Amino acid sequence: MEKKNAQPRTAELSANTRRKYTEVKNPRQLRVLHALMVRPRPREEMDRIAGCSNSPSQIASLRGKGFDIPCVMVRSLDCDGLLVYRGVYYLTAADRRMIARHVCRKGA
């Protein structure tokens, strides 16, 4: 039984579908996007780059502006040698296209 208000699955979305994009003006969020354009980044690194101690809040705000910015949990060892999982953020191809369109519109 399918729910009436269910979101379409990724496979059901058209490649030409554009998400609603809200311009990013916050300097912390701009630093986050710039860093993620270079490579995937762990949460701890995003804290230093954004200049705040709660980068997940910045990521949540960017998601609210139309970005996906998935997070994968990667196995890692902490300073005590214990196995932990840490979050690594990355941009999807659609996120990269949104950033490129924004840069082209701005003429930067």
User: Hey, what are 27's tokens?
Assistant: 């300097």
Mean pLDDT to the nearest integer, 1-20: 54
Mean pLDDT to the nearest integer, 31-40: 95
> How far is it, in rounded angstroms, from Cα 87 to Cα 73?
5
pLDDT score recorded for residue 107: 59
pTM of the model as a whole: 0.75
DSSP output for the chain: ---TTPPPPGGGS-TT----------HHHHHHHHHHHHS-EEHHHHHHHHTSS-HHHHHHHHHHTT----EEEEEEE-TTS-EEEEEEE---HHHHHHHHHHHHHHT-
Mean pLDDT to the nearest integer, 44-66: 93
> How far is it, in rounded angstroms, from Cα 106 to Cα 30?
14
24-106 is classed in which CATH architecture? Orthogonal Bundle (1.10)
Q: What is the spatial order of strands in the sheet that 83-89 belongs to?
A: 41-42, 83-89, 71-77
> How far is it, in rounded angstroms, from Cα 96 to Cα 67?
9
